[in-house]
Amino acid sequence: MPSDSAVITRTPDQPWCDLGAEVVVLRIRDSAYYRFEASGRSVWLLLEQPRTFGELIDGLSHEYAGERSTMAVEVEDFLTKCTDLGLVTVAALDA
């Protein structure tokens, strides 16, 4: 799991559109589209500016009820998939 201080950033130049109930992201390198609904949409919108993992979880806790630890595991899974797709980067801050 990323530390609370790990910085999450959207990869530049990924066109996207907020359609209200979902966000659609175009991965330029192969013209693949990805749809994020519900909490995935919330994560994407919170990443309008780079955020730490802790800030991201805090932002989501204002919108969704649940245990912080459970939320962190689910967000980590989402971020891992987005990282594998090249849509976001996760970088640890130097100590």
Instruction: Give the pLDDT confidence score for residue 66 in this predicted structure.
Output: 85
Closest CA to 10 of 55, 37, 43: 43
User: Hey, which bits of 11-65 come out as E strands?
Assistant: 16-18, 22-27, 32-37, 51-52
Please state the rounded mean pLDDT for residues 40-57: 96
Name the DSSP class of 27: E
Instruction: Give the pLDDT confidence score for residue 1 in this predicted structure.
Output: 72
Instruction: Give the pLDDT confidence score for residue 50 in this predicted structure.
Output: 96
Q: Is the dihedral of CA 34, 86, 47, 58 positive or negative?
A: positive
Q: How far apart (Å, rounded) are the C-alpha atoms in residues 35 and 95?
A: 35
Give the model's confidence band at 63: pLDDT under 50 very low, under 70 low, under 90 confident, else very high.
Answer: confident
